[in-house]
Amino acid sequence: DRHLLGLRNLSAAEISAILDRAAYWEEHPVKVSNLCRDRFVANMFFENSTRTRFSFEVAEKRLGAEVLNFSAAVSSVQKGESIYDTVKTLESMGIDAGIIRLKPSGVLPELAAKIKVPLINAGDGNNEHPTQALLDLYTMRKHFGHLQGLTVSIIGDIKHSRVARSNLWALRTLGASVKFCAPDNMQAPELAEYAPYVSIDEALRADVVMMLRVQLERHESGMITSAEAYREHYGLTEERAGRLQPHALIMHPAPVNRGVEIDDSVVEHPQSRIFEQIANGVPIRMAVIERALT
């Protein structure tokens, strides 16, 4: 299966092969290879993005592919065209693979079943964001040398987070353990059997502390208490960052709400890997596109 819809059903060997291939690309920093020359890749974003969209585009260009960029906001989606008809339209023009980001959860498997070219999930609702978790795992593996036995705390808006879900599945597959920390209205009770919900003090006792963005756009109005109260109870403040073990990593998928889930001064803390995560997105996405196309 050359689609990449999620990590929940990917084996340890398949995940490790992607991480290894990304390491190859990082060690061979050729600006542009011709591995995917003459192949057309469409970036189909039905929801906004900065990091994922541009790092896919950089990865595609570094592999020598021809890149097509589709944004729902300036497309016939605005006239009511469906996701399926849009993807089928681009497939009819001869694309070889599609990168897709969608608002709804759960529609991707059905779409992929009807589309012949490989599709790579760039984030679907609160379901999965596989390439984000792969770059997160890659960043952890680079620092610790392994993933087996690591303890990873994921703190914040678990309920709305596809990043939390993809990391949960892949980390468990690779032998790491996950703890969640979230206020009641940001918990996903259906995930409690896979990762315990712990206090913020317990969450800080981990090898990796992954902060999540409070997803204001996905909350019904009135659900969020003030940003100050959130920071006080769940934010990675300068004081809390000072209590982390010296070997521990601070991560965040970004975009960051500075001063809400993470203090401004902690974003570029010596233990933070936030901008390294973004850099690692390019070799990871090169590996994933290569897997889809070759």
Q: Which residues are annotated as a binding site for L-aspartate?
A: 79, 162, 213
Number of residues interacting with ligand CP: please give it, by CB under 6 A. 10
Number of helices followed by number of strands (H, E) in the chain: 11, 8
Is the distance from CB of 179 to CB of 202 less than 8 angstroms? yes
Contact residue for ligand CP among 254, 269, 276, 291 (CB under 6 A): 254
Site for ligand CP in 5-44 (CB under 6 A): none
- The Cα–Cα gap between 250 and 210 comes to 6
Q: What does the per-residue mask of binding to ligand CP show for 49-68, with x meaning CB under 6 A? A: xxxxx---------------
Q: Does 280 bind ligand CP (CB under 6 A)?
A: no
Contact residue for ligand CP among 125, 183, 253, 283 (CB under 6 A): 253
CA distances (Å), 89 to each of 67, 84, 103, 124, in order?
A: 16, 8, 19, 20
- The Cα–Cα gap between 23 and 28 comes to 8
Provide the minimum distance between the beta carbon of 254 and ligand CP in the complex, in angstroms, as a whole number: 5
Contact residue for ligand CP among 43, 86, 126, 132 (CB under 6 A): 132
Site for ligand CP in 69-128 (CB under 6 A): 123
CA neighbor of 285 nearest in space, from 48, 8, 39, 51: 51
Provide the minimum distance between the beta carbon of 165 and ligand CP in the complex, in angstroms, as a whole number: 13
What would you measure as the largest C-alpha separation in the chain, in angstroms? 55
Q: Which residues bind ligand CP (CB under 6 A)?
A: 49-53, 123, 132, 253-255
